[in-house]
Amino acid sequence: MSQRTEKSKEKPKESAESKAKPTAGAAEAEAHGYRIGDPGAFARNMVQVSVQSQRLLRDFAKRQAGKAGTEPMDPLNITGTFMELLRGMVADPGKIMEAQFQLWREYMGLWERTARRMMGSNVEPVVAPSPGDKRFKDKDWQENQIFDFIKQSYLLTANWMQNTVAKVEGLDPKSKKRVEFYTKQFADAIAPTNFVLTNPEVLRATLQSNGENLVKGLNNLLEDLDRGEGQLSIRQSADAFRIGENIATAPGKVVFRNELIELLQFDPATKEVYERPLLIFPPWINKFYILDLRPENSFIRWASAQGYTVFVVSWVNPDRRLAQKGFEDYMRDGIFTALDAVEKATGQKKINTIGYCIGGTLLSATLAYMAAVGDDRVNSATFFAAQADFSEAGDLQVFIDDVQLEALEQQMNNAGGVLEGKKMATTFNMLRANDLIWSFVVSNYLLGKEPAPFDLLYWNSDTTRMPEATHLFYLRQFYKNNCLSTGKMVLGGEKLDLSKVTIPIYLQSAKEDHIAPYRSVYKSTRLFKGPIRFIIAGSGHIAGVINPPSAKKYQYWTNDKLPATVEAWQAGSTEHLGSWWPDWDQWLSKLSGKKIPARKPGDGKLKVLGDAPGDYVKVKAQ
């Protein structure tokens, strides 16, 4: 056999060997876990995903067909918002062209740096996530060149979109805020973290589990859609909590009940208590047990341990029968009735109060009404993250315009006069979409995980309904028209004037609160005319309030002076580590009278009706 023939026979062997060897890219992919474990199992799971996806689309189409004509076409007025944006952009096309060229230049810079990195050079990224962005924590977003390029491309695009719309001129401030908000919602939705092939963690899990994660994720999605009756109701916490058993367990009794409230009186934790009782009005948008999640972070237990006789209003979860209960009803049958009941239970006419969020807004309006009619039963008022002036009321303002309010009224009418809890939950979740929506889309639906038990998120998902009359009054009179702070609001035939409120006031706000921003809360220092203490706590709307001293977390700022602006207040403020609760206790204890033998529920003129946390808090809403 010739030498040439022998060589020709060897070539196929070498070629086959070379084909068997993985390329450098394939080797790197395998090293990082991007390899299918069992092709057969993967194929079977992909068939199941296809079948489940078809069922999902079929069920969704069926449910949407059933809703045709019963829901507003554009309840959030997104079309109107972006039509205004388009008109602003058309008015100055030069700026849009310049913005497009700027994006092109940034992309060129990214390509150049990526090429240099592939050649082995160490290069700084063109753009990096913000420090608080948790989406890109997987190591491959930094170490893998492909995913790093995807990440930076997305960040460049997202930043460009938001910066471009922010610079469009000719929009009124409210329209501009809505445009910026919905642009960010869109940017968050198209993040590469939200898709299988562009999220390294999800892609690894899909290949390593042979697609089992996607099968489980689709099942989770179908269950959430079934629970929400066609509307996505994302499960944020495992259903591991039972109200009154392992959550909301502070010992106490129900001592009063009407159709709007149950009044809870909690057992004393000390042998002596302050003479003046403490009455708390939580928001009815959520349930009261945010103040009593677990023993270690329960404000109710802590306040009882400081020697206060603690009463808490537990608002009813309203159904259609209560649809026309108005804001004045919540004042009379809520606050006034509770004040009467506490006086009967304790014999005390002067009562210290707390109002949280919308409960605080109701308390502010009620105090103005009481001042107008000469009712002096409230001895002091503390406000947790509560607003009275809504001129800078935070991100919720993007949902308040005539078109959206009319659509909301139509939805409530169609639902029998109430706003279903799941719709309110969606609104609040949108304010922190990456944390409260997209992180669960990735975890529950793409990774196929079950949510972990988390008391705060369980409470967040335990929604309540809103009665039509009260909710529309609140949105129009406070958020839209800011009537209370401007002296235009009328309740019970009385024109409300907050400057007539002269009792001691404690205003708590939080640095990162996106629902009741601290600069909005500070405006109340110019409205009330009695002695006022204002503080800013660390964290946000919930953790800024629920921060027990034992946790040794966050901080708070104080300033005994109240200058004209919150910026001036901050410049002269003092930072303190830990919880603000002891500061409040020091303030309130001086207003609470002498110490007397501890009161127990049922000692006074009110009979015990049952154990805390009562019945109203256990009523579920969709």
DSSP assignments along 215-240, one per residue: HHHHHHHHHHHHHTTTS-----S-S-
Least confident of 12-21, 249-258, 338-347: 12-21
> What's the confidence (pLDDT) of residue 76?
82
> What's the confidence (pLDDT) of residue 144?
93
Q: Is residue 11 predicted with pLDDT exceeding 50? A: no
49-58: long-range contacts at Cβ-Cβ below 8 A with a sequence spacing of 24 or more?
49/211, 49/214, 49/215, 49/218, 52/215, 52/218, 52/219, 52/222, 53/218, 55/222, 56/218, 56/221, 56/222, 56/225
Average pLDDT over residues 28-36: 68
- Cα 14 to the center of its chain, rounded Å: 62
> What's the confidence (pLDDT) of residue 37?
77
Average pLDDT over residues 118-142: 92
| Judgement on whether residues 383 and 527 belong to the same structural domain of the protein | yes
* Residue 382 bridge partners (DSSP): 354, 506
| Judgement on whether residues 380 and 527 belong to the same structural domain of the protein | yes
Indicate the pLDDT class of residue 12, thresholds 50, 70 and 90. very low
CA distance 440 to 217: 11
Least confident of 83-92, 283-292, 350-359: 83-92
Question: For residues 394 and 516, is the Cβ–Cβ distance under 8 A?
Answer: yes
> What's the confidence (pLDDT) of residue 172?
86
* Residue 576 bridge partners (DSSP): 556
CA distance 208 to 190: 25
Average pLDDT over residues 25-46: 74
Residue 63 lies in a domain: no
Residue 595 domain boundaries = 252-395+485-618
Least confident of 76-85, 250-259, 481-490: 76-85
Paired tokens of 174: 């409210």
Q: Is residue 302 predicted with pLDDT exceeding 70? A: yes
Average pLDDT over residues 84-113: 87
SS3 160: helix
For residue 341, the surrounding DSSP H or E stretch is: helix 337-346
Q: What percent of the chain has pLDDT over 70?
A: 93
Nearest to 93 by CA among 169, 18, 196, 205: 169
| Judgement on whether residues 276 and 386 belong to the same structural domain of the protein | yes
> What's the confidence (pLDDT) of residue 173?
86
| Judgement on whether residues 518 and 605 belong to the same structural domain of the protein | yes
> What's the confidence (pLDDT) of residue 394?
84
> What's the confidence (pLDDT) of residue 16?
43
Least confident of 35-39, 244-248, 361-365, 432-436: 35-39
Paired tokens of 225: 């859609």
Residue 319 lies in a domain: yes
Residue 247 lies in a domain: no
Indicate the pLDDT class of residue 532, thresholds 50, 70 and 90. very high
Average pLDDT over residues 172-198: 93
Q: Is residue 19 predicted with pLDDT exceeding 60? A: no
Residue 463 lies in a domain: no
Residue 535 lies in a domain: yes
> What's the confidence (pLDDT) of residue 10?
46
Task: Report the DSSP pairing between strands 494-495 and 490-491.
Answer: antiparallel
| Judgement on whether residues 166 and 298 belong to the same structural domain of the protein | no
Average pLDDT over residues 108-117: 92
* Residue 496 bridge partners (DSSP): none
> What's the confidence (pLDDT) of residue 8?
43
Indicate the pLDDT class of residue 468, thresholds 50, 70 and 90. very high
> What's the confidence (pLDDT) of residue 7?
44
| Judgement on whether residues 158 and 262 belong to the same structural domain of the protein | no
| Judgement on whether residues 114 and 258 belong to the same structural domain of the protein | no
| Judgement on whether residues 162 and 264 belong to the same structural domain of the protein | no
Residue with tokens 């949108």: 430
> What's the confidence (pLDDT) of residue 2?
43
Q: Is residue 537 predicted with pLDDT exceeding 60? A: yes
Paired tokens of 398: 């993007």
- What are the C-alpha distances in Å from 388 to residues 472, 504, 521? 17, 16, 7
| Judgement on whether residues 513 and 614 belong to the same structural domain of the protein | yes
Q: Is residue 18 predicted with pLDDT exceeding 60? A: no
Residue 311 lies in a domain: yes
Average pLDDT over residues 321-349: 97
> What's the confidence (pLDDT) of residue 13?
47
Q: How many domains does the chain have?
A: 2
Residue 553 lies in a domain: yes
| Judgement on whether residues 145 and 278 belong to the same structural domain of the protein | no
- Is pLDDT larger for residue 598 or for residue 94? 598
Q: Is residue 571 predicted with pLDDT exceeding 90? A: yes
What is the DSSP code string of 279-305?
EEE--SSS-GGGG-SSGGG-HHHHHHH
> What's the confidence (pLDDT) of residue 527?
98
Out of 190, 212, 234, pick the residue that ends a domain.
Answer: 190
Mean pLDDT of the chain: 91
Q: Which of 269, 357, 447, 501 is catalytic?
A: 357
Residue 467 lies in a domain: no
| Judgement on whether residues 259 and 176 belong to the same structural domain of the protein | no
Q: Is residue 387 predicted with pLDDT exceeding 70? A: yes
Out of 164, 190, 216, pick the residue that ends a domain.
Answer: 190
| Judgement on whether residues 159 and 277 belong to the same structural domain of the protein | no
Q: Is residue 470 predicted with pLDDT exceeding 50? A: yes
Q: Is residue 82 predicted with pLDDT exceeding 90? A: no
- What are the C-alpha distances in Å from 546 to residues 130, 297, 312, 356, 486? 26, 7, 16, 11, 31
In this structure, what CATH number is given to the domain that contains residue 604?
3.40.50.1820
Nearest to 358 by CA among 283, 467, 279: 283
CA distance 239 to 453: 7
> Which residues, in sequence order, are CB contacts of 126 under 8 Å at separation 6+?
106, 109, 110, 113, 152, 156
Q: Is residue 46 predicted with pLDDT exceeding 90? A: no
CA distance 436 to 523: 29
357 catalytic? Reply is yes
Out of 162, 190, 218, pick the residue that ends a domain.
Answer: 190
